[in-house]
Amino acid sequence: MLGIALKDQERSIVEEFFQLFKTPWEEYRKSGLYSAVIASSPHRLSEIPRLAIIFGYQPTERDLAMGIQTGPAL
């Protein structure tokens, strides 16, 4: 089961995406047990799970602390 930390305006696209790929998911809950959590911001997670996929258009604090370069790559 995937936990998805989403904003209200993201709900319809998230539902459509996971229905298309027939992937079990639910909205992220702190008490949930997930194989992975997907979030558009680390601030949407109350705690970092074992596997978190965090995406966005800006580098996170962790990216900066680890010296990770972000942006287009070839």
The alpha-helical segments, DSSP class H, found in the chain are 11-20, 61-66
CA dihedral 70, 35, 51, 47 (to 10 degrees): 110
Compute the distance between CA of residue 54 and CA of residue 44 in angstroms, rounded to an integer: 10
pLDDT of 12 over the 90 cut: yes
Q: Which two tokens stand for residue 55?
A: 């995406």
Average pLDDT across the chain, whole number:
88
74 or 51: which leads in pLDDT: 51
pLDDT of 27 over the 80 cut: yes
| pLDDT for 1 | 92
SS3 31: coil
Selection from 16, 29, 17, 58 nearest residue 41 by Cα: 58
Percent of the chain scoring above 90 in pLDDT: 47
The residue extents of the domains of the chain are 2-66
